[in-house]
Each structure stands twice: as structure tokens, then as C-alpha cells.
Amino acid sequence: QAMMNAITEHFPADVHITESEGGMFLWATLPENMSAMRLFDHAIKEKVAFVPGKPFYVSSTKDKPVPDNTLRLSYVTMDEDRIHKGIQILGACLRTRSLS
């Protein structure tokens, strides 16, 4: 719940979050024009990490490429304060809108 509260506070409204049902991750879908890898590059510079979603897709076809705008956020290895700070930093990176 701590991560969802921080996301509600700090992420832009056009980022869609799929909550886990009993798992330890959240799945985020960025607007189509945003790249999770570019967000990753920005976030790492701020010492925040997540897993880009691309490796979790089974396959890509010419008609339906694997999206580059998804990511997986884990909430089991950090305390609530660190989760909040990390989400705050990711939110600031997302708001730069230089991630396309």
C-alpha cells in the first residue's frame, strides 16, 4: 500500500498501474510515447532502479512489437520511507517528459 500511496501522490495521472494480487510487484504502463529504458537511464543516475517490462513479454511480431513503455516495480526489499523517496524520484523523472 505504501508504494500505491506514493504513486498516487507523485506519478503523472497518465501512468497506468496494475496492482498485484498477492505478489510483490506492481506493473506500470507509461504513455505510449515514453520509453521505460530512457526512464531507467534517468532513474539510475538518481540511484533508483526498476525492471523494464520488455523482457517479460513472450514475443514480438511485425504487426505487434513488444512495447517499450512498461516496467515492474518491486516493493518487498525496501522500507516505506525508501519506497516513498524512490517513487518521488521516479515521478520527477516522468514529469520531465524527455523520455520519448
In the predicted structure, residue 75 carries a pLDDT above the cut 70: yes
Helix count and strand count (H, E) for the chain: 3, 4
- The C-alpha atoms of residue 92 and residue 23 are separated, in whole angstroms, by 26
Please, which residues have CB within 8 angstroms of residue 89's CB and are 6 or more apart in sequence?
43, 46, 48
Residue 75 lies in a domain: yes
In a domain, 6, yes or no: yes
Number of domains in the chain: 1
Q: Are 14 and 94 in contact (CB under 8 A)?
A: no
Residue 97: its pLDDT value, please?
A: 64
Confidence (pLDDT) at 8: 94
- Per-residue pLDDT reduced to its tens digit, 10-54: 999 999 999 877 778 899 999 998 999 999 999 999 999 999 999
- Is 18 within the bounds of a domain? yes
| CATH value at residue 25 | 3.90.1150.10
Structural domain for 8, as ranges? 2-57+66-95
- Average pLDDT along the chain: 89
Among 25, 43, 26, 27, which Cα is nearest to 94's?
43
